[in-house]
Each structure stands twice: as C-alpha cells, then as structure tokens.
Amino acid sequence: MTGRTGTTDDREFRDPDGLRRRAGVRGDPNKDQHFLVDDRVLDRLPGYAVPDSDDGDEPVDPASLDLGHVLEIGAGTGALTDRLLAAADEVTVVERDRKLAKFLREEFADAIEAGDLTVLEGDALDVELPEFDVSVSNLPYGASSEIAFRLLPLGKPLVLMFQKEFAERMAADPGTDDYGRLSVTAGHYADVEVVEIVPAEAFDPKPRVESAVVRTTPRDPDYDVPDDAFFLEFLKAVFTQRRKTMRNAVRNTAHISGLGDPDAVVEAADEELMSKRAGELPPATFADLASLAYEVGEPGGY
C-alpha cells in the first residue's frame, strides 16, 4: 500500500495524492468535486464522531473509537474511507461517480472481501441507505442541504463537512444574523455545533470558500408540535418573509404553509408576538405558534 505513517499509532494510511493518481482523477469544480487532501484534517474527522475524544490537540487513534457501522457519503477516492475503516466495524460508502465507485471497489478490494466495506454506487438522495450508527462525510456542496436533511430525521450522530456559511447558519442561535429557517429546522432534530473551520487549501482543487465540520447529536426537541411536516412547512413559510412582522408573514405565506385561515391565527396569537420578526423568535416559540396555527388556521393536507 502506498501510504504514510499515521500520527497516533503508526498505522499507514493511503496518501490522498497517491489515491488520486491511481484513480486517474484531478477533481472538477463543475461536478462539485473537491477532494479533501489535508492529512491532518482527515486524521481528525473520525474522532469528532465521539465528542469526548476531540479534547486534545492530537488526532485520536482511529482504532480506539469503535464507531460501529459508519456511513460515508461522497467517498471520492477513499482518503477518508481509509481512516474510517480503522475506526469502525463496518463502513458503507455512497459514491455517485461511476468511475470513482469502480476505483473504490478495486482499491479497497480486500476490505470488501472481508465484509468491512460496502460501496453503493448512486445518488445519496436516491439510494436505499443501510442501517448505520454514525455518518462521517465530506459532502458534495451542491447537494449538502438535501443530504443533511435526509440524514437528520434518522436520529443518528453526524459529522459532516459543509461550506462555512451554511455550517454557521445551521448552528446559529436566535437573534444572530445567521439565525434562520436552517437553524430551527436542524435544531428540531439535534444539537448542532461547528467543530472545525477548514481552509480552502485543504482541498484540491481549492473551492472559492472556506469549509466547516459540523457535528450533530440527535435529541428530541424541548417542545411539542402537532405534526412535524406542518411545523417544517410553517417555518419555511414565515422565513420567506423574515424581514416582515410575524403578523404579515403568517398572512402573506398561506400558499406555502397551507393555512386556510391565516387571519384566525393572527387574531388568536399574542399581539406582541405578532409584532416580532422570525429571526427574533426561539424554536419553542415557533412551536407554540405552529401549534396554534394547526388548531385554528384550517391547515390543508395535514
């Protein structure tokens, strides 16, 4: 194996540049292909899946993590896959590029034969995902939002790479500039934290933006809603007019939320609340308002 010595246990991991040479690929921004090539970042990613293991300055020995069955989406040439195999009992990777999927099967033939690795060729939004314990993935940026919200409702820990701006909005607190629908929706399923900012130089070819690693820890929300689907559509609706008061946002977006009588919601809700804007409201307040809307607003289709 062409590799380098690991930082914690002398385990030899495949060199990212060597993997790309053997795969015969250079990466293509037009295809959303930016390969993570920084060994230090690659070494740290598996450890983020175990929150207590990332307190030190050095990467954790992957073999000490015992991650169970790991799902990796967007495996590329397998630089992260190699490390995940050391940290997990089993790894399933999803790769939509046919050439790269073929390369992964050849490069990791021994792991596949041993039953440690499964390569699923196809789009992560379409393939049937296996049961898994945690996902550690460098997501394709163009589909990162859709993939994240396919994974979040599954209630599993996630360690995902996003564009920095997206990651910060995902983890934002109420009242901040980054807080929005994404923050509330992600927080409906999990605690969300940005654990590392990753410079463009860590990728080849370099993207135009910085990236960030997000860790999500699944938990039930500290509020109740009558229907998850309605709650999420209600959020989508009012945040399309985040600069309007909630009074106007509820009235103007009934075509999105599905409310048959938005005026009834406005009239029944607290007047001070209706004078605020969406970016000022914490998730529990949205839940209370959505519950009221569900009760008096004549929502259709829920």
Query: Taking the alpha carbons of 164, 169, 170, 176 in that order, is the dihedral positive or negative?
Result: positive
Ordered DSSP codes for the chain: --EEE-TTT-PEEEPHHHHHHHHT----GGGT--EE--HHHHHHGGGGGSGGGGSSSSPP-GGGT---EEEEE--TTSHHHHHHHHH-SEEEEEE--HHHHHHHHHHTHHHHHTTSEEEEES-TTTSPPPP-SEEEEE--GGGHHHHHHHHGGG---EEEEEEHHHHHHHTPPTTSTT-SHHHHHHHTTEEEEEEEEE-GGGEESPPSS-EEEEEEEE---SS--S-HHHHHHHHHHHHTTTTSBHHHHHHHTHHHH-BS-HHHHHHHS-HHHHTSBGGG--HHHHHHHHHHHHHHS-BS--
Does residue 248 have a known ligand-binding role?
A: no
Does residue 80 have a known ligand-binding role?
A: no
Does residue 74 have a known ligand-binding role?
A: yes
Does residue 95 have a known ligand-binding role?
A: yes
Does residue 69 have a known ligand-binding role?
A: no
* Token couple for 204: 């080849």
Separation CA 105–CA 112 (nearest Å): 7
Binding residues for S-adenosyl-L-methionine: 34, 36, 74, 95, 123, 138
Binding residues: 34, 36, 74, 95, 123, 138
